[in-house]
Structure 1
């Protein structure tokens, strides 16, 4: 039995139970759920904390980021780092979410949904192996050396994902459901990638969870009503579809 299938027998954990379907913004974490190496959240900023729980310090890391945005904002990177410990392994979730920085006279959370990945890359650059970004090109370029990462366009992804993962053995796979949506002329966000696209990608993810090649999978809804996944209802509908194809049967947000 695959490692992930074995872990599915464990009870799921609500690190942050959903109290209401509120605004996530850049700093509010409305929920965080885990079963084994799989995490589901509303705000992507918690992803780095989830990864740290499955990574061994100094061990090589492979990263596959699937997201409308790069999430690698670097505008205040030195300032953000000053408010964080030199070693992030072992930091509690409360501390992780609570770090704060004063930027241009404004006090704000340090780890946000647009910089958690640039901070991760800054901390782990010496341990990075294969790195793939499948995005819509929104956001700052990754804070990595040119040629050290590969950009994947949407039509390449489902048919080649399994092959890409064969180029590493210690994968973080990081998915934001806003990747499957686009902005329409009326300003709304609508899903534009078909169910077959999602199915084939999820089947490839599941295969590599089962064989242990994926060490940790993080899934983010980005569900704000004026956000990039069309609101809570559409984000939850797609999340249910993703869970179905991944074989995740025990995740459900309260009604």
Structure 2
């Protein structure tokens, strides 16, 4: 993690490693939740066993973020990562997630074979995503108490091997923000990952982030600047 910032319901980070910890700061675990995941990748690696989750439950639900980050797996590697946090969260809180929307590029492992495979899911098409989020979150699932929205800016880019280019227009991104903003009473937390390595650099990622923070009225104190081939946040 390079940075993690919170403003109200919104958390902004450089990758989704911190997402599940952020969710736990805002949700009520006695309620029924839906997860709306907008990300190039599914982020559904299930490499942490049920036994590991049970043995380390107190660390995984700890309010101290640095304590959460310090947790190691059985190979002494970072336990919670940017690609396994959703499955780990669901194992920690079974039956909390009742509905999941996966708006992805279908990159990576999907829900089959994970703890989430029996949860109701829908995978929105690109053509319907920017006009239906408010309907899905506020009208379509009356049995869901509140929602978690999880966004990775790499969703708006395509390409491989560091040569990524934006293929989603700003108008489309603004439409998504409008849908989310209109749904905020039903949303407890929004986590936004910048993922510069999948956006062809920090500059491109921050260009999209500025659109999102403006549209959603998020106070973002950091600015990006590139100087002599080095990237700076200040």
List runs of 5+ in structure 2 lacking aligned partners.
224-232
Moved more, 64-73 or 53-62: 53-62
Q: Cα offset for 1:174? A: 0.3
Q: Number of aligned pairs?
A: 218
- In 2, the alpha carbon distance for the partners of 1:190 and 1:80 equals 39
Task: Map Cα deviations across residues 108-132 of structure 1 (whole Å, 9 max, x no partner).
Answer: 1100001011111222231222211
List runs of 5+ in structure 1 lacking aligned partners.
1-28
In the TM superposition, 1:43-192 aligns within 5 A as 43-78=15-50, 80-81=52-53, 84-85=56-57, 88-103=60-75, 107-142=76-111, 143=114, 144-146=116-118, 148-166=120-138, 167=141, 168-183=144-159, 188-192=163-167
- In 1, the alpha carbon distance for the partners of 2:72 and 2:59 equals 16
- In 2, the alpha carbon distance for the partners of 1:110 and 1:164 equals 33
RMSD across aligned positions (CA): 2.0
TM-score using structure 1 length = 0.79
Q: What secondary structure does 1:235 align onto?
A: helix
Q: What secondary structure does 2:37 align onto?
A: strand
Contact 1:53 1:90 in 2 (8 A): no
User: Runs of 4 or more off by more than 4 Å in structure 1?
Assistant: none
- In 1, the alpha carbon distance for the partners of 2:51 and 2:21 equals 19
